[in-house]
Amino acid sequence: AQKVTQAQTEISVVEKEDVTLDCVYETRDTTYYLFWYKQPPSGELVFLIRRNSFDEQNEISGRYSWNFQKSTSSFNFTITASQVVDSAVYFCALSDPTNAGKSTFGDGTTLTVKP
């Protein structure tokens, strides 16, 4: 069975601080996909990134970066110079590559960025 653990339930930072959201996963599959989604207060789900299990290259997109370490089964997400608009619930998810939309989600981390 697959499992995704986001141990940080809530994080609060002051604007311009860097913040890292942790994600640890369990799977017996040798190939899989990992995702991060953002859920702002308005409630919709916003796709942020997908990572294939065979690609351990870290990725940076603007203020966002992702650190994938297969050896520790972790896929952490860092926001640099956080902004108030980053306040949201962030979900990490894991899926079977034979049906990539069939995902197992973590319980989410609520990030609050204070001005």
Q: Which of 76, 82, 88, 106 binds another protein (CB under 8 A)?
A: 106
Interface size with another protein, residues (CB under 8 A): 21
40 binds another protein (CB under 8 A): no
Does position 44 interact with another protein (CB under 8 A)? The reply is: yes
User: Smallest Cα–Cα separation from 33: which of 105, 108, 90, 100?
Assistant: 100
Among 45, 60, 81, 84, binds another protein (CB under 8 A): 45
Looking at the chain, list the stretches that DSSP marks H as alpha helix, in order from N- to C-terminal side: none
DSSP state of 18: -
Question: 10-39: which residues touch another protein (CB under 8 A)?
Answer: 35
Based on CB atoms, which residue is closest to another protein, 101 or 115? 101
**Where in 15-85 does DSSP place strands (E)?**
19-21, 24-26, 33-39, 46-52, 59-61, 64-69, 74-79
Collapsing DSSP to helix, strand or coil, 47 comes out as: strand
Binding residues for another protein (CB under 8 A): 4, 35, 43-45, 47, 50, 91, 93, 97-108
